[in-house]
Amino acid sequence: MRTAICSGSFDPITLGHLDVIRRAAGCFDQIWVCVSPNAEKRNQMFTPEQKLRLVRAAIQELPNVEAELWPGLLADYARSHGACAIVRGVRSVTDFDAEYQMALINRGICPGLETMLLPASAPYQHFSSSMAREMIRYRQPLGNYLPEPIIPLVEEWIEKEGGPNHG
């Protein structure tokens, strides 16, 4: 069985993320979505547990895709799941440069682990989680940015006092 990892902080998962996951699911027998709590990123909107719940809601119709939280190194996660590849989406040259460096590091930690970079599909080239967070903060319609199954969860959390990362 050929297994790959799609990873990210997913704060929140966007239609662009889901597009990459779907495309990867068509290329591999099993995809593990690794939700990484990234302490380096500022202004996170959702807790790690909320991010995982959103990802699981977004991927529920993909039979060969599962999601988990992982606080450690991605190469260790890939090794623990017997993965042969990490699949990452890239929107720009800047993304490519950063992902290329990470691919070298991951391969150094786990020899034989490949990184496959999927160019963003045209409708999602401008998507980012930070842009989605702005749309959420300013109570904009979310259907053009977020997977449909997660919108009720996000709206429920933002209605609670204190915002989504307190609910």
d(CA 24, CA 162): 36
Active site annotation includes 166: no
Which of 2, 41, 139, 166 is catalytic? The answer is 41
- CA torsion 9-13-14-19 (nearest 10°) is 90
d(CA 76, CA 109): 8
Active site annotation includes 56: no
Which of 7, 88, 129, 133 is catalytic? The answer is 129
Active site annotation includes 41: yes
Cis status of the peptide bond prior to 152, with omega within 30 of 0: no
Do 37 and 48 contact (CB within 8 A), yes or no? yes
Which of 22, 53, 91, 107 is catalytic? The answer is 91
Which of 17, 51, 56, 88 is catalytic? The answer is 17
Per DSSP, the three-state class of 9 is: coil
Active site annotation includes 53: no
H helices then E strands: how many in the chain?
Answer: 6, 5
Catalytic site positions: 17, 41, 91, 129
